[in-house]
Amino acid sequence: MRGLALSGGGARGLAHIGALEVFLEAGLEFQVVAGTSMGAIVGALYAAGKTPAEMLAIAHKTPWLGLLGFSPREGIFSRKKLKDFLAEHLPARFEELKRPLAVTAVDVVSGRLLFLTQGDLPSALLASAAYPGLLAPVEREGQLLFDGGVLDNLPVDAARLLGAREVYAVDVTPERRVEEAPKGLLALARRAVDLMQLHLTSVRLTLYAPEVYVRPSLPGVGIEDFRLLEEIVEAGRKAAKEVVASKVGGV
């Protein structure tokens, strides 16, 4: 059984669309999907039966930053518009998806990593994308949850849990180096989270190594750079083509 693992990374996660396009054109199908944050959203769209072309059309017409309205009561941003977006494009429950899906989240109280695989789908995706300090944690089934990327930004292990024996992992975790020093306390806090995710992802890759690893080149692209949609998607295509060519003889 072949599985797909998609990392978190905000706008950088739109590269998953390009990578998935190349995989499918090469005749690669994925029976199970696992994702974190934006990877969870793209993964859910695929699990629901959306094609990469349909995902790209959705991405083009979606005002991504507009989905995050300012809300001093919820955190820095409100998740209402994001919730409406998920309801428009996805079914209400995991059980209605065409492929098994696992998304990661972290229990704020216990500190445990969770793999969400059933029940209410939008709340699971909102929890997986609840970036600390930007979006408030999500209450779901008696637990308070936030971004799964805090502990598991590239959920190869979640794909294994669903039964995958061969995992294709697409990693858009931000790079170690940046073009310039972050300005402001919020930007510094985000940089700290990025570095923690990068190091933890490296460690987890030694424990849960995928059979195929794809790392799109996105230097200078931040998690908020949705304006670079085409560039990001093309980076996903390019990285996937290189890997597919070496693994299955070219596309």
Residues designated as active site: 37, 147
C-alpha separations of 87 from 68, 81, 83, 115, 121 in Å: 15, 10, 6, 21, 9
CB within 8 A of 144, min separation 6: which ones? 107, 108, 109, 137, 138
The tokens of 141 are what?
């089934």
Contact assessment for residue 240 and residue 18, using Cβ atoms and an 8 Å cutoff: yes
Residues linked to residue 26 through DSSP beta bridges, in sequence order: none
Residue 210: CB atoms within 10 A of its CB come to: 21
227 residue type, one letter? R
| Distance in angstroms (rounded) separating the CA atoms of residues 180 and 221 | 12
Helix-helix angle 38-47:15-25, to 10 degrees: 40
